Amino acid sequence: MAIRTINKHNLINLNINMNFRYNFSENSKADLLEFVKEAQKQKDNKYCDLEQYKLWKKMLPLDSNIEKALEVSKEVIEIMDSESFEELPDIKNTETLNDLVEENINNSIVVEDVTYAIKENLEKIKEVPKSVIRDIEDYPVDKLKGSLMLLSEELNFEDVVNLGNSLVRFNCSESVFSVYFQTLLSTKLRSEYSDKLHSLLFKIESYTNGVLANEISRVLLEEKEAASTRTPPSVWNHH
- Could you read off the pLDDT of 204-223 as tens digits, one per residue? 888 787 788 788 888 777 77
pLDDT of residue 176: 92
What is the rounded distance in angstroms from the CA atom of residue 129 to the CA atom of residue 230? 38
The answer to whether 157 and 192 have CB atoms below 8 angstroms apart is yes
| Residue pair 62/36 in contact by the 8 Å Cβ criterion | yes
Q: How confident is the model at residue 65 (pLDDT cuts 50, 70, 90)?
A: low
Q: What is the mean pLDDT of residues 82-86?
A: 49
Total residues found in the chain within this entry: 239
203 or 7, greater pLDDT: 203
Span 16-33, average pLDDT: 62
Q: Which of these ranges, 24-28, 48-52, 199-203, 228-232, has the smallest mean pLDDT?
A: 228-232
Share of the chain above pLDDT 90, in %: 12
Cα–Cα distance list, 220 to 53, 142, 189, 207, 227 (Å) = 83, 27, 11, 15, 10
What's the pLDDT at 29? 74
Tens digit of pLDDT for each residue in 169-191? 999 998 999 999 989 988 777 66
Question: pTM higher than 0.75, yes or no?
Answer: no
Phi, psi angles (nearest 5°) of residue 139: -70, 140
Helix (H) or strand (E) run with residue 223 in it: helix 210-227
> What pLDDT, on a 0 to 100 scale, did the predictor assign at position 239?
47
What average pLDDT does this structure show over 231-238? 48
Q: Which residue has the higher pLDDT, 74 or 225?
A: 225
pLDDT at residue 107 tops 60: no
